[in-house]
Amino acid sequence: MFRVISLLFVSVCIVFALPAEQEKESLYNSLDTTDEQTKHTLKQMVKSSYNIQAHKTNYFLPLSYNYSGEYQDTNGHSAKTTEVEFQFSLKYNIGADLFGLKEIYSVAYTQKSFWQLYASSAYFRETNYNPEFFITFPMALDIDRFGLKAIKLSFAHQSNGRGSDEERSWNYLSSSFIFQYGYLFTELKLWTSWKSALKYNPDLLDYLGYGSIKFIVPYKKHLLSFKTNTKGTIESNYSYPISSRKDLFLYVKVFSGYGESLIDYDNYINKVGIGFSISR
């Protein structure tokens, strides 16, 4: 019963975590303001207008089912095939156009957790942490070639925050090229690491590969994506609005391959999950 209540509580918190924009606007407009500086401060306070945005998809999957593949035991726990998976991801734009190229400088943080809510002790099987710094270069119309819309250069760290034999981490550089052809968006991403950063998992790239290609199709209210890497791992996601709100969506995720989590990067996992997201 406690686990059911916990699940409902987390679901409600996520659904109502972000007030609708019109509600924040209404609250702000109801306030008495005097000088312009005070007005600006109130706007920041009420509307939380601090340039923090969603980065990767923010989702919560109450049912995430591993139908083929083995999880590594954690501190003597044997993981169940059904768990809760969730991710939150935020970015902050720290500057722009320093070299006159319309480039945007950003920092981001992504955290993905795998919660064994349906196990007797309801422990967290794994959590991966991913801070990142990146620069995005939008392509001007006069140099737009082959549908290329943007180039992104990134430096990032990923870790599971553990120590000793269960530590998994790496530092990597990546470059992404984003193209558009009508309804179809394509992201080609390449990455590399340095061996000193693979101390605890020296064969990590043998399973994650060195690049991926992702196809994204936004059509009317539907959003479908499909990604595969150089090692054949596949991930597909689908989202669709489930209410009149602008920040709540049905979310379905399918995964097949290596690297589902850092602790199990070398285990081949087949998994499907369903829940909702608050960003796309």
Catalytic residue annotation: 157, 159
Q: What is the phi/psi pair of residue 217, to 5°?
A: -125, 100
Q: In angstroms, rounded to a whole number, what is the distance separating the alpha carbons of residues 38 and 31? A: 11
Q: In angstroms, rounded to a whole number, what is the distance separating the alpha carbons of residues 149 and 144? A: 7
Q: In angstroms, rounded to a whole number, what is the distance separating the alpha carbons of residues 103 and 138? A: 7
Q: In angstroms, rounded to a whole number, what is the distance separating the alpha carbons of residues 89 and 53? A: 9
246 within 8 A of 113, measured Cβ to Cβ: no
Q: In angstroms, rounded to a whole number, what is the distance separating the alpha carbons of residues 133 and 136? A: 10
Residue 271, Cβ density class (10 Å: 0-12 exposed, 13-18 middle, ≥19 buried) = buried
SS3 of 162-191: the string is CCHHHCCEEEEEEEEEEEEECCEEEEEEEE
Q: What angle do CA 255, 157, 151 make, to 5 degrees?
A: 75
- 258: tokens are 């290596």
115 within 8 A of 86, measured Cβ to Cβ: yes
